[in-house]
Structure 1
Amino acid sequence: MKYIVIKCGGSVLDELTTSFFTSLSELEKRGFKIVFVHGGGPDINDMLDLFRVKPQFVNGLRKTDEQTLKIAEMVLSGQTNRKLVAMLQQYQFSAIGINGSDGGCLQANYINRKQLGFVGKISKVNTEFLELVVNRNYIPVITPIGITENGEKLNINADYAAAEVAKALHAEQCLFVTNVDGVFIEGSLASSLSKKEVSTFIVNGEITGGMIPKVQSALNAVEEGVESVIIVSGKKTFFENGKWHGTRIYQKEPITN
């Protein structure tokens, strides 16, 4: 079975266009099974602000105490997930929302409980569960909430979650959806960049601002074992006539004879 795993950040959900969903349709017509993993940072921050809880981050990961975890799960499952599922259904896709802890979908362990609190790293993806869903022709839309062997829920970085799901399903591609076409170098869209090139372009100022965390997230995914990640736009067509539009980020230089 051919899988495409798509990570959609919470900040881009409201910017998805008809062209984006047209590309999804073409992928389905070509026999790909689509799996979504989504974030929800802006919605979580809004709710934390409402409860007067100050967000805290350690090395890019959200420090998660018990109250923050409850709020994060409530927002991810009850708001962000519902929003994305509804949009897919609006475009005639059969989508089903899944909390990552449901059915042991995303099994996880603590990263560092003392430093980060209830933050986890995926130890296993229940691929049988996901295959059951996609074999019924549904698109799973997964929240990055994991569960430990003891039944404790953990907050998981959505980029890492998408990478682990892509690895476990042996996905053909892992896509990170953003609000830009990809990475621009000297004014032109780069079709692909190696880890070494990304590091160089950050240092020399070609990659700046909000694109830095995007490419770093992609690099984190390939370092987790995903062959490559394509940064694509949620505002435009990203797959057309069998061709990808975006920037492929990869770990190793291709072997040439």
Structure 2
Amino acid sequence: MTQCSDPIVIKLGGAVLSSPETLEKLFHTIAVSRQKRPVVIVHGGGYLVDELMKKLSFGTVKKNGLRVTPAEQIPFITGALAGTANKMLQGQAMKHGIHAVGMCLGDGGLCQVEVLDPALGAVGRASAGDATVVNAVIQAGATPVISSIGLTAQGEMMNVNADDAAVAVAKSLDADLVLLSDVNGVLDENKSLIKALDSETAEQLIASEVITDGMIVKVRAALDAANDLGRAIEVAGWRTPEKLADLIAGENIGTRFYPRTEK
């Protein structure tokens, strides 16, 4: 990862949003570290959506890990993600003296979004777009907090997978990417953290059953993200936010995933 003043994109998942203590530590660290390097936050908020859907008596259906989003539900999901979750994080940032700007993928054409699969409803695929507005926010000394809600060229609201959204934002900004996860990284047969992985090594570890079950999906998704972005990305644990300062400074605290073209 780059050790310079280039932006770093940090993706926060729903589990982080449900832990006030972790958010407190996380934004304290960001408040200190962002003086050395701009930070851009991309977030989901699945647990908020789940709670809202339950209150509204909407059923939750998922296909291949993606939430099926009927057209009548997208206004509510947009409200939960681009509204409640986004402002909750913006509020946490403000508590720590960070000038935060709440945004979504559609602001300033940051990401281009199209329908991923008609069978999934209002679920979008994001790709890199125009980072002019976000760069202006960063240049003004503020921290963008970007929800995973996007807009199509026709103005339709789309729910985008937060990991995919983070990759698209990082590509738009030509920035490094960190995916904060519920695991600290990938462990070897001795339960020690594996500092670096490429596709070939990962497949060997899967074949030898060192990487098993749900971790296989996480590893392949991280490698896909690195390949899509064209640079190494890091997967680190959100439960140790105090280590984030080292990561922002360019150090390796989790597992670093390398694309096929980089060693």
Q: Is the 8 A contact 1:101 1:146 kept in 2?
A: yes
1:205-224 correspondence runs (5 A): 205-208=209-212, 211-224=215-228
Is residue 26 of structure 2 the alignment partner of residue 20 of structure 1? Answer: yes
Alignment match, 1:7: 11
Alignment match, 1:96: 101
Is residue 225 of structure 2 the alignment partner of residue 197 of structure 1? Answer: no
Alignment match, 2:41: 36
Structure 1 spans left out of the alignment, 5+ residues: none
Question: 2: distance between equivalents of 1:81 and 1:101?
Answer: 14
Deviates more, 1:51-60 or 1:98-107: 98-107
Question: 2: distance between equivalents of 1:200 and 1:83?
Answer: 42
Name the count of aligned residue pairs: 252
1:45-194 correspondence runs (5 A): 45-113=50-118, 115-171=119-175, 173-186=176-189, 187-194=191-198
Tell me the percent identity: 31
Is residue 231 of structure 2 the alignment partner of residue 227 of structure 1? Answer: yes
The alpha-carbon deviation at position 153 of structure 1 amounts to 1.4
SS of equivalent residue, structure 1 residue 180: coil
Per-residue CA distance 1:192-233 (angstroms, 9 max, x = gap): 111233333344433345544433332231232341210112
Alignment match, 1:249: 257
Larger strand fraction of residues: 1
One-letter code of the match for 1:64? T
Alignment match, 2:245: 239
SS of equivalent residue, structure 2 residue 50: helix
Deviates more, 1:223-232 or 1:41-50: 223-232
One-letter code of the match for 1:249? F
SS of equivalent residue, structure 2 residue 184: coil
Q: Is the 8 A contact 1:20 1:235 kept in 2?
A: no
Per-residue CA distance 1:32-64 (angstroms, 9 max, x = gap): 211111011111111112222222222222221
Question: 1: distance between equivalents of 2:210 and 2:28?
Answer: 31
TM-score, structure 1 length as denominator? Answer: 0.87
Structure 2 spans left out of the alignment, 5+ residues: none
Question: 1: distance between equivalents of 2:252 and 2:26?
Answer: 12
Task: Quickly say closer, same or farther: Cα 1:149–1:165, change in 2 above 3 A.
Answer: same
User: Aligned-pair RMSD on alpha carbons?
Assistant: 2.3
Per-residue CA distance 1:152-188 (angstroms, 9 max, x = gap): 11111111111011112111x2000123322221211
Question: 1: distance between equivalents of 2:97 and 2:219?
Answer: 31
TM-score, structure 2 length as denominator? Answer: 0.86
SS of equivalent residue, structure 2 residue 42: strand
